[in-house]
Amino acid sequence: MPEPAPRWLDCARDFTEYWTHPRQLRDATGIHRDRDPAVDHVAIDTFLRAVPHTLHDTAADHSASVAVVVTGAASGGWRWRHDRDGWRWIAATHRPATATLTADPDMIWRLRTRGIDPTRGRRTRHHQGDRALGTALLRIVSIIRE
């Protein structure tokens, strides 16, 4: 039997649900309000916690790394490196990543919540480096189920 989810994961699930649903409603109604970039950045950071799980079965050299660069007001950069134990979050380095996905915040949250298909994401994002790793990054879904 799996271990119980850590408390931070329960908090993350609640936060991302309360963050995502108003955006979906605004999209459906065409009502767009200014958002707080700091809160958007936290939501994106939370969604990107799914990267190691998503890449778990993706073949990569043990020195491979991937990066996600988010542009705009909620900008930021995230990086993971592959080692014998899997994919691990690392601090930014000066070395280029094996694969880099650059996208705006809307693209990131829509990919992570199945708001758009990864095929559409492939056409509208900027990718550098290893194609297989870059494509794998587009498959990330950050929906947390109980």
pLDDT in tens, the chain (146 residues): 567 777 888 888 888 888 888 888 888 898 877 778 899 899 999 888 888 888 988 888 888 999 999 998 889 999 999 998 899 999 877 788 999 989 888 888 888 777 776 666 555 556 788 888 888 888 877 655 44
Nearest Cα to Cα of residue 121 among 68, 57, 65, 43: 68
The answer to whether the beta carbons of residues 140 and 68 sit under 8 Å apart is no
Angle at which helices 37-47 and 7-29 cross, to 10°: 120
So where are the chain's domains?
A: 7-137
The CATH class for the domain spanning 7-137 reads alpha beta
The answer to whether the beta carbons of residues 118 and 85 sit under 8 Å apart is no
3-class DSSP state for residue 112? helix
3-class DSSP state for residue 45? helix
Predicted TM-score of the model (pTM): 0.83
Question: Rounded CA gap, 21 and 13, in Å?
Answer: 12
